[in-house]
Chain A
C-alpha cells in the first residue's frame, strides 16, 4: 500500500503546529519540552515520507541524527529543569527570572 505524499505532509504539518501551539500555551516546562519532542517527531515523519517518495535512503540517516540530538536535548533539558527546581521550587516558565538582576 502506498500512502500519497500529501497525506503525510498534512499529518506532519498538523502535528508540528499542535506542538508549536502547545509550546506557546503551556507554562509547565516539562510539557513545553514534550511539545518540542512532538515537533521534532513531525519533522522526522516528513523526512521519512520524502525518502519513501524519492527512494533515497539518505534521509534515514538524517532521522537518526535528529533522534540522537533529541535524546541529548531531552537529557540536558531535564537536568536544567531539575537544577532550576532545586533553587526555585517550581517549574513554571513565567516565574523563572534569575537573570533579572
Chain B
C-alpha cells in the first residue's frame, strides 16, 4: 500500500515540474497531495490526513487553479538557449542529491535507536492500564484507595505506554490532536490565527492596490 502511494506521489511530483502547462502541473500536484494523505493514514495521522485533503487539495489548489484561470496562457514556453547549461546543471545536482539521500537512508540505519512503536488494540490496552493503575493505587495510596482523577489517569497511561513502546491508540486522532492544540499549544494556535489574519489583510491590500511602474 505504501509503495502504491509513494509511486503515485513521485510520478505526480515529476509531472508537476515537467508539464509545460500550469493547469496540468496543478492537477498533478493534487495527485501528490491525495497520495500523501493516504500515506498519512498509514502513519496513524488521521486528523492530518483529513486536513491534507481539505486544506491542500481543497482550498489551496482551488485558489491556485482560480489564478491560473485568471491569467492567460503563456505563449513563449520554450527556454532561451543561454539557460541550457544551467538547466542541465540543476537537473544533475538534483539527481546527485536524491541519489545520495536514497543511498544513505536505504543502506544505513538512519535512526539507530529508533523507538519503533507497536500498535495494539484499545480493548487489550485498557485492561493492561487498569491493572497497572490498580497496583499503583494500592502502592501509593493504601489508606484511601479511591479512584484517580481523569488527568492522573491520562498522565499515567501515557507514561506506561511510552515505557512499553506501545503506540497510543488515540495517537493522531482528532480528539488527541485537539486536546494538545487547546492545552499545551494554545499559544501556537493563537499565533496561527494572527498569521492568517495578517495574510488576509496583506492579500486585500495587494489585490486592491495597483503597482506603479
Contact = CB atoms under 8 A, between A and B. Distances in A.
- Chain B interface, >50% SS class: helix
Contacts of A79: 202-203, 206-207
B197 to A, nearest CB: 9
Contact of B102 (A13, A27, A82, A85): A13
B81 to A, nearest CB: 14
Contacts of B177: 57, 60-61, 64
Interface string B20-52: 001001100100110010011011110110011
B36 A45 contact: yes
A64 B181 contact: yes
A8 B16 contact: no
A57 B213 contact: no
Interface residues of A, number: 73
A3 B2 contact: yes
Interface in B166-195: 167-168, 171-172, 176-177, 180-181, 184-185, 188, 192, 195
A83 B94 contact: no
B29 A37 contact: yes
Given A8-B39, A60-B172, 14 more contacts: A5-B111, A9-B105, A17-B94, A30-B22, A30-B25, A30-B67, A51-B45, A53-B114, A57-B168, A61-B180, A69-B192, A75-B63, A83-B207, A83-B209
Interface of A: 1-3, 5-11, 13-15, 17-22, 24-28, 30-31, 33-35, 37-38, 41, 44-45, 48-49, 51-55, 57-58, 60-61, 63-65, 67-76, 78-88, 90-92, 98
Closest 4 CB pairs of A and B: A22-B17, A72-B199, A21-B94, A79-B206
Interface of B: 1-2, 6, 9-10, 13-14, 16-17, 22, 25-26, 29, 32-33, 36, 39-40, 42-45, 47-48, 51-52, 55-56, 59-60, 63-64, 67-68, 70-71, 74, 79, 87, 90-91, 93-94, 97-98, 101-102, 105-106, 109-111, 114-119, 161-162, 165, 167-168, 171-172, 176-177, 180-181, 184-185, 188, 192, 195-196, 198-200, 202-203, 206-207, 209-213
